[in-house]
Every structure is written in C-alpha cells, then in structure tokens.
Chain A
Amino acid sequence: MEREHAAAVSIEGLRKTVTVGFRRRRVEILKGVDLAVREGETVGLLGPNGAGKTTTLKIALGLMRPSAGTARLGVAGLHEVGYLPENAYFYDYLSGRELLGLCARLFGLSRSARDERIVEALREVGLEEAAGTQLRKYSKGMLQRIGIAQALINDPRLILLDEPMTGLDPIGRVEVKRIIQRLREEGRTVLFNSHILADVGELCSHVAIMRSGEVVWRGPVEDAVPSGGGSLEDFFVQVVTEGAVEPESAESGSPGVTL
C-alpha cells in the first residue's frame, strides 16, 4: 500500500527562463510549477499551446535544465522511465525490431533480456508482423505504437507520453488508448500531455491543468467533471480562461532522483 502513495514524480517550484531573438529577450516559460504524481496514477497534463507542458516533461527527464526549483523522479532514475516525445521521429532506416534492440541496449539490457523484451513490447503494441519492416514504411499510427513500444522496452514503472494521440486517425487513437488503458490496469504510473480532453477524461485518474507556465488546477477527474452536468472541456475552458478554481497544493513526494 505504501508504494501506491509514493510520489513517482515530484516537481516543486520549477522555473525556466530562456532568451530569444537577437536582443536576447528573456521569456519565462515556467513560472513555478508544482506537481506531484503518485505511483499508480494516470495523470493527464492539460493546457493550451505554450503552457509549458512539454518543457515540464523535458526538465523532469533531464533534457533541459531548470532555472530554479526541482523535478524529482521517485523511481531509480531513467532506468525505470519510458518516454514518448511529441511527434516522435525514429531512425527510419531501422526496422521496428532494430529500433527496439537499440533502445534496449541503451538501457543496458542483456542479450537474453533484450530478446525477451523486444518480443513482449512488440506484442503489447500489436506490431509483431511489422517487426522486420523499415520504419519509413510505417503509417503514423504504427510509428506512434512503435514509439510506445520503445518507451516500454525497459518495463518501466513510470511512463511519460507527450501528445500520444496527436495526428492519429480514429483507429490509431483507439489503438493508443487501448495501450494506455492497459498500462493503467497494470498499475504503472502514466503522465501524458494531450489536447484531446475526451481521451483524458476516459483514461486518466487525475488531471493537472497548466496555464502560462503554472499548474492552476490538479485533482481527480471526477472533481473536474461535475456530476450535475458539464464536461471536462467546459471545466478546462473555465480554468484556462477565467482561472476561477483554486489550485490543489502539490504534495512533496518520497525521496527520489534529483535531475
């Protein structure tokens, strides 16, 4: 039971400022993000474009450095994390199996573990038959699924997905939703960004809403969808445009890895 309540992601006071343009104008992308994701939760990170969702994930993964604050992963570092970037591009000269082999080697898996995990990951995303096909011949939906497979190759406890439904046709969306649903049922922690609120409402246990570099609301999906009527979309628009709802205070998690 203890593990269920441990923080898988703990972000406190996260700030990021970048300089842009010839005159090196300073732009604050993140203005003090506080967010805690507990183990076993499936959290949808919502927000309009430019709210700072992707930057938050990148800092948590160490792809960017914070200007202030901390982003801690309550797992054993990147060894236990799977990540699917937004509009992911993979080495298109590789086959699906070769890509997974490369990713497994980057996680330091032994040859036998690699072979086992590649078969499992391909099965999990339903791409066994296309395993030997070069990625340049994959459809958008297949690429997204192989992207999820590479995120699962290390059998991670924490999975971060950046816009996993973007650009997919309805069938592709259903396939990806099924995978996320299964990850949730397996008790893995999933944090994903999305603009498709219906999917978030369907898949997530919790929602966090970002606006202008801050988390302005975080809570269970049920609290965002009033039983008396209304939808997650209405609630999201209300929070983003009016900011009328007080944010839930982020809880600090268990000791983890400071990135």
Chain B
Amino acid sequence: MSRAFAIAANTFRETIRDRILLVILVFALAMIVASLWLASISLGQGARLMQDFGLVAVSGFGVIVAVFVSAGLVRKEIDKRTVFIIFSKPVGRGEFIAGKFLGLSATMAIVIFGMTVFLFLLVWAVAREPSGWLLLAGGFIYLQVLVVMAVTIFFSTFASPILAAVLGLCVFAAGQLSHNVLSLTQLGDSAALQGLSWVVFLVVPNFSAVSLAPVVVGEQVADWSTIGGWGGYLVAYAVIMLGLSWLVFRRKEF
C-alpha cells in the first residue's frame, strides 16, 4: 500500500501544480460571490438563496474539475509513457489505480472544502445565519465527486479522455435525474419502460437522493441514519467502480 501512497502523493503534486485548477477555482469562487446579487433581489430569502446557489456552484465546478482531471489521469501516463517508469518497478496495477484515485481525492478535498468554507463564511458575513448543515452538504458533494471520479477513471481505462469525460458527465447527469425518471415511469402503464427505468436507477449512482441541499435550506429534516446510509452507498459505489477499473487495467499492455 505504501506504493499506492507514493503514487497518490505524486498525483496530488501533479494536480495541485496544474495552473488550470487554480483558474477554475477562482472562477468557481467568483460564481459563489455572484450569489450575493441573487441575495439582494430575494425579498428576505437571501441566506437561503445564497446557500442553494452556492452549493450548486460547488457541486457543478467540483464535478467539472473531477471529470476532466480524472479522464486524463490514467491515459496521460500511458500516452507520455511514464507507465514504463512505474510498472518496471514492483508496482501492482491495483496500487496504481488506487494511488491515482487517492491523489486526486486529496486535491478535490481541498477544492470542495475550500469552496464550501468560502460559501459558509460569505453567508455568515452577509446574512449572519449560515446553517451548520452547509459544511456537511459540502462533505456529501465531496462523496458524490469521488463517485464521479471513480466512474470516469473506469471509463478512461478503455476509452479516450474526451469520451471518458463525456461518459462521466452523462453518468453524473443521469444520477441527478434517475430518481425523478423512475417516479415518472411508475405513473405510466408501460412495463418495459418501468423495467428500464429500474435498471437505470439501480446501475447509475443515485445522486438526487443523497443531496443535503434541502436540509441546508430547511426544506427537509435531517435523519442521521439515512445520511449514514447514503454516505456508505456512495463509498461502496466508488470502491466497486475502482475494482472494475482494476479488472480492465490489469489486462493492459504498454
């Protein structure tokens, strides 16, 4: 496992030194600041709107960064032939996949929690009523981002970076909508459509159900057992996707 941590440390160093990450982060923070404008026209709902809009910005930018960085994470090592340096040493394919994932996870932790804390401080400075759930919501966005990363890394083990990124974004979008699609098809008569929506619901990660945004803005009451269950679900989903990535990657020749 120490080899996986060595690769993770290198991946962290690589991504954190990438200036494009800084540019995206600055843009994301600007979007969060833009929520101040929404607050000014919200007729007493300023804090709620800022938190809602801010969490969407944190999630959106987090996913975009995660998808585009993780799509090239493995392929870049193959294209630039740095895999020769890695795999000519006693490094297992699983250690490599785990290391790349852990390294980017560390970077994304800084990105997501940095944005969330910034949002929290902004809401506190403007409205003086930030919800403590905001920080936990950031934690759940982080778990969602880990799942999207694991899915994208899986696609990148056999597809080009562009295709892997597109597929990763598609899975994220499908995960946001799968619960609603399932509910809608249950209203109809088509058994085939209902069956298909069940399959999609079971296969893609169910992101819509694990959002804490409604709790943050007071639309729902938090239930710790449900929160724990969904957290476990996201972690298990990411681990399964990494396992599938290893199954594909271990057959690769360089």
A-side residues, CB < 8 A to B, are: 58, 61-65, 77-79, 81, 83, 85, 87-91, 93-94, 98, 102-103, 105-108, 150, 154, 160
Contact = CB atoms under 8 A, between A and B. Distances in A.
A81 B89 CA distance: 8
What 10 A-B pairs come out closest when comparing CB atoms? A105-B6, A83-B88, A85-B84, A106-B89, A78-B90, A64-B253, A63-B254, A89-B80, A61-B88, A93-B17
Contact of B253 (A65, A77, A105, A107): A65
Given A85-B84, A85-B85, A150-B85, A91 B14 contact: yes
Main secondary structure of the interface of B (DSSP, over half): helix
Nearest to A107: B89
A106 B6 contact: yes
A122 B86 CA distance: 19
B27 interface: no
B226 interface: no
6 contacts: A64-B254, A81-B88, A87-B81, A89-B81, A105-B6, A106-B3
B220 interface: no
A155 to B, nearest CB: 13
Interface in B81-102: 81-91
Given A63-B253, A107-B90, A108-B90, 8 more contacts: A63-B254, A64-B253, A64-B254, A81-B88, A83-B88, A106-B89, A108-B3, A160-B88
A211 to B, nearest CB: 23
Given A64-B253, A77-B90, A106-B90, A93 B84 contact: no
Contact of B89 (A64, A78, A88, A91): A78
- How many chain B residues sit at the interface, stated as a range, is 20 to 34
Given A64-B254, A93-B13, A93-B14, A103 B82 contact: no
B81 to A, nearest CB: 5
A103 B85 contact: yes
Given A102-B10, A105-B2, A88 B87 contact: no
B2 A108 contact: yes
Contact of A58 (B10, B82, B254): B254
Contacts of B89: 78, 103, 106-107, 154
Given A105-B6, A108-B2, A90 B88 contact: no
A91 B80 CA distance: 9
A88 B88 contact: no
Contacts of A65: 253
Contacts of A63: 83-84, 87-88, 253-254
